[in-house]
């Protein structure tokens, strides 16, 4: 396993991050325990979760994943030092999470305390803002969109960001979190947080996790370039495009128990005519090179300059084994060239 620095932090993380959002709906405690044990045995030390999980998000599934991880930690206390544990505070929009309110400094403090209790640990290594208070360009809202911008809203947003950083600083000073990061944010969001941190001597954002895959490359190279030059870790989520890049959903297939058999949130239903055409091309390309479509997509993601650690997830041990193995063998120059040609043919299929 390859290990890298997490941006400007002093944390060293594996190039593979184990995602956990299915634990509590598609996977139970025993499944999660097995995945954690296997991942650690393979050298993965980076675990990502969120207060909003499991998914699909509901009032009933809220907090379940953190609780499952907490149960594992309570039985494996000696291994806490071996993992870099990341979680996230939910942004606005869910009535059952702080009445759907915005992220504020006070809400950060309250959410951190709740996550610590569910996780049964005394600190969180990386605490992330799951999505911004302002309308996000993520979760399928990047194109087309009708986002309106005004100077007044800009100033209000910056004041809110400063309040959030002050709440994060309180948690850092109390030893509850070590480092802070972003998720589903934009270059403007990155720039403002970095500027405010420097101006007010507040915690610096060390990472951002955004959606990134062969079907969703909008961050490349622009936002990723900023991450490289600002020494921020870039952490792709959904590198298999909600499973589409495995090919298992082609031609309308819906394998029993798979993600697309569950209710999908607005903006995340990606099984379209254009995405299917792109997936067909990638699946056929993988077959010609004797590699599984999933492993090709994951290996491609990992080799993009600027990617720090790729967040993977699985609902079965067979999937987890296949996904982790994808990072052990680099893509050939020939295959990378053919992938790039396919990317030009399908630059933005959804």
Q: pLDDT tens-digit profile of 179-220? A: 999 999 999 999 999 999 999 999 999 999 999 999 999 999
3-class DSSP state for residue 69? helix
Q: Is the pLDDT of residue 13 over 60?
A: yes
Q: What is the pTM of this model?
A: 0.94
Q: Is the pLDDT of residue 137 over 90?
A: no
User: What mean pLDDT comes out for the span 309-336?
Assistant: 96
Q: Is the pLDDT of residue 246 over 90?
A: yes
Looking at residue 109, its pLDDT comes to 98
| Residues in contact with 288: Cβ distance below 8 Å, sequence separation at least 6, in sequence order | none
More confident residue, 192 or 256: 192
Q: Rounded to an integer, what distance in angstroms lies between the CA atom of residue 53 and that of residue 63?
A: 6
The CA angle 218-222-224, to the nearest 5 degrees, is 90
Q: Is the pLDDT of residue 253 over 80?
A: no
- Tallying the residues shown for the chain, one arrives at 350
Q: Rounded to an integer, what distance in angstroms lies between the CA atom of residue 236 and that of residue 157?
A: 25
Confidence of residue 255 (pLDDT cuts 50, 70, 90): confident
User: What mean pLDDT comes out for the span 255-271?
Assistant: 63
Looking at residue 122, its pLDDT comes to 98
Q: Is the pLDDT of residue 269 over 80?
A: no
Confidence of residue 317 (pLDDT cuts 50, 70, 90): very high
Which of 53, 62, 127, 282 is the catalytic position? Answer: 53
Q: Is the pLDDT of residue 256 over 80?
A: no
Looking at residue 329, its pLDDT comes to 87
User: What mean pLDDT comes out for the span 69-87?
Assistant: 98
Q: Are 115 and 177 in contact (CB under 8 A)?
A: no
| Residues in contact with 39: Cβ distance below 8 Å, sequence separation at least 6, in sequence order | 16, 18, 47, 320, 324
Q: Is 53 a catalytic residue?
A: yes
Q: Rounded to an integer, what distance in angstroms lies between the CA atom of residue 192 and that of residue 197?
A: 8
Looking at residue 258, its pLDDT comes to 67
Looking at residue 151, its pLDDT comes to 81
Q: Is the pLDDT of residue 270 over 80?
A: no
Confidence of residue 152 (pLDDT cuts 50, 70, 90): confident
Got the DSSP string for 101-123? PPP-HHHHHHHHHHHHHHHT-S-
Looking at residue 140, its pLDDT comes to 64
C-alpha torsion angle, residues 194, 199, 203, 205 (rounded to 10): 0
3-class DSSP state for residue 200? helix
Looking at residue 350, its pLDDT comes to 75
Confidence of residue 145 (pLDDT cuts 50, 70, 90): low
User: What mean pLDDT comes out for the span 97-103?
Assistant: 97
User: What mean pLDDT comes out for the span 277-294?
Assistant: 97
Looking at residue 262, its pLDDT comes to 67
Looking at residue 251, its pLDDT comes to 82
Looking at residue 296, its pLDDT comes to 98
Closest CA to 138 of 207, 189, 206, 64: 189
Please give the mean pLDDT across all residues of the chain: 93
Confidence of residue 268 (pLDDT cuts 50, 70, 90): low
Looking at residue 260, its pLDDT comes to 65
Q: Is the pLDDT of residue 24 over 80?
A: yes
């Amino acid at each position: 396993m390859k290990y890298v620095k997490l941006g400007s932090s002093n944390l060293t993380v594996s190039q593979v991050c184990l995602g956990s959002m299915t634990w509590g709906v598609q996977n139970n405690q025993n499944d999660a325990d097995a995945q954690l044990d296997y991942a650690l045995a393979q050298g993965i030390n980076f675990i990502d979760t969120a207060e909003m999980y499991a998914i699909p998000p509901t009032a009933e599934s809220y907090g379940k994943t953190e609780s499952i991880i907490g149960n594992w930690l309570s039985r494996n206390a000696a291994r806490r030092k071996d993992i870099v544990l990341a979680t996230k505070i939910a942004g606005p929009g869910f009535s059952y999470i702080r009445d759907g309110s915005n992220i504020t400094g006070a809400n950060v403090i309250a959410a951190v305390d709740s996550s610590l209790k569910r996780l049964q640990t005394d600190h969180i290594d990386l605490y992330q803002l799951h999505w911004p208070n302002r309308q996000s360009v993520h979760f399928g809202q990047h194109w087309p969109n009708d986002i309106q911008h005004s100077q007044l809203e800009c100033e209000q947003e910056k004041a809110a960001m400063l309040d959030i950083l002050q709440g994060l600083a309180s948690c850092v000073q109390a030893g509850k979190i070590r480092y802070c990061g972003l998720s589903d944010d934009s270059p403007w969001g990155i720039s403002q947080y970095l500027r405010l941190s420097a101006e007010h001597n507040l915690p610096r954002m060390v990472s951002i996790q955004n959606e990134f895959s062969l079907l969703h490359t909008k961050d490349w190279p622009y936002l990723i370039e900023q991450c490289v030059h600002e020494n921020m870790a870039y952490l792709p989520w959904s590198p298999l495009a909600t499973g589409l890049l495995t090919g298992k959903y082609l031609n309308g297939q819906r394998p029993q128990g798979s993600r697309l058999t569950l209710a999908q949130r607005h903006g995340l239903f990606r099984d379209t005519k254009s995405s299917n055409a792109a997936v067909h091309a990638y699946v056929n390309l993988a077959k010609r090179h004797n590699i599984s479509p999933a492993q090709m997509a994951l290996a491609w993601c990992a080799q993009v300059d600027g990617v720090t650690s790729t967040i993977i997830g699985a609902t079965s041990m067979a999937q987890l084994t296949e996904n982790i193995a994808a990072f052990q063998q680099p893509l050939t120059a020939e295959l990378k060239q053919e992938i790039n040609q396919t990317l030009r043919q399908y630059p933005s299929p959804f």
